[in-house]
Amino acid sequence: MKLKFALAVTALVSVVSSGAMAAGDPVRGKTLYATCGACHGVNGEGLEALNAPKLAGQEPWYLIRQLQNFKSGVRGTNPRDTYGMQMAPMAQTLVDDQAMEDVAAYIETLGG
């Protein structure tokens, strides 16, 4: 029983810690982030005047999920969501999940 519990805890820690780092390529992500920086800041600091949130310091899984939501239309399609409607087409510039992972990996290097 104790062994099963120990194995379960070890597996859980492994899963949680493996999600802590973005799986993407930060070098490729830096190039892709150039477009993002126009609104979110060169260092991911966010720009209040554009209502663009700070990205530096966000968890990679969260950034990827939000990009996926914008790209799929879960977010950014409500006409009352002006800022979301601005973000949705920007997410379309990331051609696939790998591109999103690359951007998230680069943002992760910016600290927070």
Closest CA to 66 of 88, 98, 99: 88
| CB atoms closer than 10 angstroms to residue 24 | 23
Let me know: does 56 contact 43? Beta carbons within 8 Å: yes
Query: Given this model, what pLDDT does residue 22 score?
Result: 61
pTM value > 0.85: no
All domains of the chain in start order, with CATH: 23-109 (1.10.760.10)
- Averaged in consecutive runs of 10 residues, what is the pLDDT profile of the chain (112 residues)? 47 44 88 96 96 96 97 95 94 96 97 78
pLDDT at res. 111? 84
- Amino acid code (one letter) for 38: A
Burial of 60 (0-12, 13-18, 19+ CB in 10 A): buried
Residues in a beta bridge with 52: 47
DSSP codes of every residue in the chain: -HHHHHHHHHHHHHHHHHTSS--S-HHHHHHHHHHHHHHH-TTS--BGGGTBPP-TTS-HHHHHHHHHHHHHTSSS--TT-HHHHHHHHHHHTS-SHHHHHHHHHHHHHT--
